[in-house]
Structure 1
Amino acid sequence: GTVSVGEAIGKMLEMYRLNAKFDETSVKVHWEKLVGPEIASRTSAIYVKEKVLFLQLTSAPLTQELVLAKKKLIESLNRAFGYEIITDIVFI
C-alpha cells in the first residue's frame, strides 16, 4: 500500500533512533504555529516524553483554557505531523 511522507519519515527516524529528540524539537516548532505567538510566549517549558507533551505556562487562566481544549490540541498536533506523535498533555 501507499505510505504517507509522515509515516515514511517516522519509520526512518525510528531506524536511526532519532525519534525522541526529533519529536521534542518538532513539537516545540509546531507549538508556536499551532497556538500562536501569544500563547507560545507564555509557555515556559515544553517537552515530550513517550508521546506525552509536558507544558508549563506562566498564566493560570491560560492553563485552564488549554486544559479544556486539550483533546483539540492533541488532535491538531497529530494532524500536523500526519501520525500520532502525542497521546496526552500534562500541565506542570
Structure 2
Amino acid sequence: MRDNQEVKIGDLIRRFYKDNDKEDFIEEMKMINSWEKVVGKFIASHTLSLHVKDKVLYVRVDADSLRSELMFSKSLLIKNLNKIADKQIITNIVVK
C-alpha cells in the first residue's frame, strides 16, 4: 500500500543527509553560498574556490593581499559563517 502523506522535498533531503551522517552538509552549502554576503563582492570575485572538510573551510584566492586580509579577519569570518547555520559548523579557515 502507498502512503499518501505529503512530504516536502526539503524535508526528504534533510532526512537523507541525516540518515547518512551528513547532517551538516546542507549548512556547509548554505555557508558557501553566502560567502559573498559575508566577505563582500570584491573578495568574493577574487575567490577561486571554497570547500569544507572536517569543519575547516578551505579558501583559495588569487591575491596575496587578500589572503592576508582574510587571515587577519579569520575569527570574525568564522563567527559570521557559523551564524548563518545557527550552530558551529566551521572551526577554522585555511586560506591559500
The alignment's TM-score, normalised by the length of structure 1, stands at: 0.77
* Shift of residue 11, structure 1, vs aligned partner: 8.6
| Number of residues of Structure 1 aligned to a counterpart in Structure 2 | 83
Letter in 2 for 1:90: V
Aligned-partner Cα distance in 2 for 1:69–1:11: 35
Aligned-partner Cα distance in 2 for 1:58–1:12: 36
Show the counterpart of 1:72.
76
2:41 is the counterpart of 1:37: yes
Sequence identity of aligned pairs in percent?
34
Aligned-partner Cα distance in 1 for 2:85–2:28: 12
CA RMSD, 1 decimal: 2.2
Q: Which runs of 5+ in 1 are unaligned?
A: 1-9
Show the counterpart of 2:52.
48
Aligned-partner Cα distance in 2 for 1:68–1:39: 14
User: 1:1-92 alignment to 2 at 5 Å?
Assistant: 13-19=17-23, 21-92=25-96
Aligned-partner Cα distance in 1 for 2:16–2:22: 9
The alignment's TM-score, normalised by the length of structure 2, stands at: 0.74
* Shift of residue 16, structure 1, vs aligned partner: 4.5
Q: Which runs of 5+ in 2 are unaligned?
A: 1-13
